[in-house]
Amino acid sequence: MSKKKLTVYDMLQLKGKKQIHDVYVNNVEEAAAAEEAGIDMIVSAYGMPQHGIYGTFDDIKRIREAAPNTHLMSAAPERSFATADEAVRAAYKLLSIGCDSFYTNNSSEIIKALKRERVPVVSHVGLIPGHANWIGGFRAIGKTAKEAIDVLEHAMELDDAGAIALEVEVVPSKIAEIITKKVKLLTISMGSGSLCDGQYLFSQDMLGYNTGHVPRHSKIYRNFKKEYDKLHNERVAAYKEFVNDTENKKFDDPKITVSIDDREYDQFLKLSDKI
């Protein structure tokens, strides 16, 4: 029996009752595995190489098909829209293929426009990678009272604008707890402790195959890099064997070739001599 996909209504009902699990998936295999594991929400995006996201819009379609019973949040390429109307179009494009919610770290004015058009929006506070230039790079946000108040006010502004959830990234857990209590929306922690409404991690970190910077707040559950290295070595060995078999003419095994009756072959030779 397949599980029930969480609607926006269902998710909001879980606030304060159940921790929501949320993972970023990069391909159909991870999406299918997340659904089988019972993950509440998966995330995938496309066209943002600056954030290590190289997939295409068609990849999002395939991920949707691979996990039809899991809430899927997706995002349009960062800075691919600049106005509320463009944001709605970008969101509709994703909703039209079955995505359930839309991520944007844009202003509350754009989020209000999306809410008016009934687009479920997930936004972001704290360390927002797309705003790194404004906050001094990739660092914890909210370690001073002034900065913590700014994060809280930002969260409340986005709540008032109609967002359904916020990624709360690298904010002190005590601050994240207060934010969670003061907003109606869901707070999803990434490096902000267990006092939010849920947790969010990237599959490449969880599965141990991230070849770039591994965030301090990530949690590694398996070492896929070791397995991928083993697979790579086996691929190379297989290709080398193919090269050897080709150069030594080892492709006449009856198991992989077809034959012709001797009488038919003799007839062929007679006919071929006339050509």
Cite the active site residues. 169
Residue 71, helix vs strand vs coil: strand
The secondary structure of 114-178 as a DSSP string is HHHTT--EEEEEES-GGGHHHHTSS-----SHHHHHHHHHHHHHHHHHT-SEEEEES--HHHHHH
Alpha-carbon distance of 95 to 74, in angstroms, equals 9
Alpha-carbon distance of 172 to 191, in angstroms, equals 8
For 74, the token pair is: 């997706």
Residue 210, helix vs strand vs coil: coil
Alpha-carbon distance of 5 to 23, in angstroms, equals 15
Angle at 190 between CA 187 and CA 192, to 5 degrees: 75
Burial class (CB within 10 angstroms; exposed 0-12, middle 13-18, buried 19+) of 70:
buried
Alpha-carbon distance of 97 to 99, in angstroms, equals 6
Q: Kind of pairing, strands 121-126 and 165-169?
A: parallel
